[in-house]
Structure 1
């Protein structure tokens, strides 16, 4: 009888663990990139996730289907820790003397495209969700896990997953609309301000021309 990959991983089989990495590293990276918005950080999350998975290999359930929920659960914990570390880092940086900020016009230009505008608003809204709701949304919607698999990944009852997902979806729609309204109001204000300046310049030019003719 062939020994299952779960049994081999539980026993510390390096070849089986390598196979696990080959099959799921991209999935973990995609999940981390979506949750953090940073591919470099996502690469670190992948490394830490599989290091932690090796440490916790004895806890793999003897029976079951895909190990993807187990790995994504570990990755979610790693992301939480990464976020906490990033917040501590930001607090430390905030204590340093301020430096000159160079304006970034990329977001403004991208925002003129409707699809990009929607995407930016949704991303900002996602960051405003409660962490528990954001995690459930990411695993269910982005990673395609069913309710039971999400519950397995997070170590929560299925009922809790369902309620968090429902709240996340409703809250995300509300927050996305708020973000879109805010961004459009800001751009409208910028356009009016720019238009006023342009109008003033033109008026000055016209007056100067008339005076020269006289």
Structure 2
């Protein structure tokens, strides 16, 4: 697959999309907190993957999922920066009439929107690099080495960012009470860490009690 993607094989990219689009979409939503923006990130991620196909290392084995999630992380950063610039430009415009906001109406179709809102509020207190490594290691289930590959940073940086992110979430949501074994190495290639995700969800819920 790596060789075929590197060579620009269209069939390989279709297979790559079919296999990983859901994972990329979930990761994009966790970084942006917006369904529509996540869809834009997915589209841009696979366009970028085509543009960057020759950077795929064909001399190593393993899934291209970390590579795609790394591209998605960079795309999400750029999308957020563009959104901030757009919001800043709007804020400088003369005040006009109130424009109805249909966001809540759309979000009403999501059964777990309240829980997602609580989680986004807790995660918003983290620095961007900490949110990214948390999304990769906890939510997307990448190991330290895979997350390091996705972000283009050393493994030690991933470990320290994840540790800081967990400590901050502890302070913000549970008063610093940690669960035994929480600093264990994330498993590689086995999906999300359900235990850590449940801790994050439970912590966000407890914050509102």
TM class by smaller structure: 0.7 to 0.9
Distance 1:93 1:41, change over 3 A: same
Q: Which residue of 1 aligns with 2:80?
A: 83
Q: Conserved in 2, the CA contact under 8 Å of 1:53 and 1:74?
A: yes
Q: Which residue of 1 aligns with 2:156?
A: 159
**Alignment RMSD, CA only?**
2.7
Q: Which residue of 2 aligns with 1:141?
A: 138
Matched, 1:49 2:42: no
Q: Would you tell me which structure has more helix in proportion to its own residues?
A: 1
| Cα displacement (A) at 1:181 | 9.1
Question: Structure 2 CA distance, aligned partners of 1:121 and 1:174?
Answer: 15
Task: Flag structure 2 segments of 5+ consecutive residues without an equivalent.
Answer: 176-203
Task: Flag structure 1 segments of 5+ consecutive residues without an equivalent.
Answer: 185-214
Query: Superposition pairs for residues 35-114 of structure 1, below 5 Å?
Result: 35-62=31-58, 63-96=60-93, 97=95, 99-100=97-98
Q: Conserved in 1, the CA contact under 8 Å of 2:173 and 2:207?
A: no
Equivalenced residue count is 172
Query: Superposition pairs for residues 4-23 of structure 1, below 5 Å?
Result: 5-23=1-19
Q: Which residue of 1 aligns with 2:117?
A: 120
Q: Conserved in 2, the CA contact under 8 Å of 1:122 and 1:172?
A: no
Deviation string for 1:108-136 (max 9, x for gaps)? Answer: xx9xxxx9876533321201210000000
| Cα displacement (A) at 1:80 | 0.1
Which structure has the larger Rg?
1
Q: Conserved in 1, the CA contact under 8 Å of 2:6 and 2:54?
A: yes
SS class of match (2:124): helix
Deviation string for 1:57-90 (max 9, x for gaps)? Answer: 0000112211000000000000000000000011
Distance 1:182 1:163, change over 3 A: closer
